[in-house]
Structure 1
Amino acid sequence: MTISRRTPPAAPDAAASAPPDPGIGRGLLFLMSAATGLAVAGNYLAHPLLERISGALGTTPAAAALIVTAAQAGYGAGLLLVVPLADIVERRRLAVGLLAAAAAGLAASAAAPSLPVLLATTVATASASAAAQVLVGTGAGMAAPGDRGRVVGAMMSGLLTGVLLARVVSGALAEAGGWTAPYWAAALLLATAAAALRLAMPRSLPAGPGRPAYPALLASTVGLPAREPVLRRRGAMAALSSAGYMGLWTGLALLLGGPDYGWPTTAIGLFGLQAAAGPVASQVAGRLADRGHVRAVTAAGAAAIAAAWAVLSGAAGALPLLVAGLLLADVGQQLVLNSSQNVLYALRPEARNRINSVFMTMFFGGGALGAGLAGGLWGVWGWNGVVALGATAALGVAVLWAMDRRRS
Structure 2
Amino acid sequence: MQTTQDSTSLQTRAPVALFALAAGVLITNQFAPQTLVGLIGETYNLPSSYGGLVAMITLLGYAAGLLFLVPLADLVENRRLVLQMLVAAALSAVGVVFAPNAPALFFLMFVLGAGSSAIQVLVPTAAAMTEPAHRGRVIGDIMSGLLVGILLSRPIASFLAGTWGWKSFYVFSAVSTTLLGLLLALKLPKRLPAAPIAYPALIASMWHLFTRQPVLRDRAISAAIVMAGFNFFWTTIAYVLQAEPFSLSQKGIALFALFGAGGALITPLVGRLADKGHGLRVTHIAHATLIVGFVVAAISGLSTSLPASLLIVGLGISALLLDMGVLGNHTVGRYMINLLNPEARGRINGIFVGVFFIGGAIGSALSGVLWSLGGWGAVCAGGVVLGLLACVARK
Which runs of 5 or more structure 2 residues have no equivalent in the other structure? Answer: 301-310
In 2, are the aligned partners of 1:39 and 1:129 still within 8 Å (CA)?
yes
Alpha-carbon deviation of 1:41? 2.0
Aligned residue for 2:229, secondary structure, equals helix
Residue 324 of structure 1 is aligned with which of 317, 338, 341? 317
Alpha-carbon deviation of 1:321? 4.3
Computed over aligned residues only, the root mean square deviation of the Cα atoms, in angstroms, reads: 3.7
Residue 211 of structure 1 is aligned with which of 196, 205, 230? 196
Residue 307 of structure 1 is aligned with which of 278, 289, 297? 289
Alpha-carbon deviation of 1:129? 1.0
Distance in 2 between the 1:179 and 1:392 partners? 32
Opposite residue 243 of structure 1, the aligned amino acid is A
Asked if 1:233 is matched to 2:218, the reply is: yes
1:339-396: CA deviations, max 9, x gaps? 3223323423443332222212221222233344455556666655544443443344
Moved more, 71-80 or 275-284: 275-284
Per chain length, whose mean CA-contact separation is higher, i.e. which structure has more relative contact order (CA < 8 Å, sep 6+)? 2
1:118-162: CA deviations, max 9, x gaps? 333322222111112222344456566665554344323322332
In 1, are the aligned partners of 2:96 and 2:109 still within 8 Å (CA)?
yes
Distance in 2 between the 1:345 and 1:23 partners? 26
Corresponding residue of 2:335: 342
Alpha-carbon deviation of 1:79? 1.9
Asked if 1:393 is matched to 2:386, the reply is: yes
Runs (4 or more) in structure 1 with deviation over 6 Å come to none
Opposite residue 157 of structure 1, the aligned amino acid is S
Q: What TM-score comes out, normalization by structure 1 length?
A: 0.77
1:227-269: CA deviations, max 9, x gaps? 212211211221222123222334644554566x544353344
Q: What TM-score comes out, normalization by structure 2 length?
A: 0.79
Alpha-carbon deviation of 1:22? 5.4
Corresponding residue of 1:8: none
1:247/1:181 CA distance change after superposition, 3 Å:
closer
Distance in 2 between the 1:213 and 1:238 partners? 30
Alpha-carbon deviation of 1:274? 1.5
Percent of aligned positions that are identical:
35
Corresponding residue of 2:180: 193
Corresponding residue of 1:264: 248
Distance in 1 between the 2:149 and 2:136 partners? 20
1:141/1:173 CA distance change after superposition, 3 Å:
same
Distance in 2 between the 1:101 and 1:306 partners? 40
Corresponding residue of 2:346: 353
Distance in 1 between the 2:352 and 2:293 partners? 29
In 2, are the aligned partners of 1:156 and 1:279 still within 8 Å (CA)?
no
Alpha-carbon deviation of 1:222? 2.5
Aligned residue for 1:241, secondary structure, equals helix
Opposite residue 324 of structure 1, the aligned amino acid is I
Distance in 2 between the 1:320 and 1:172 partners? 20
Corresponding residue of 2:63: 76
Distance in 2 between the 1:46 and 1:252 partners? 12
In 2, are the aligned partners of 1:243 and 1:370 still within 8 Å (CA)?
yes
In 1, are the aligned partners of 2:256 and 2:316 still within 8 Å (CA)?
no
Distance in 2 between the 1:111 and 1:388 partners? 38
Which runs of 5 or more structure 1 residues have no equivalent in the other structure? Answer: 1-12, 404-408
Alpha-carbon deviation of 1:303? 0.3
Residue 362 of structure 2 is aligned with which of 356, 365, 369? 369
Opposite residue 332 of structure 1, the aligned amino acid is G
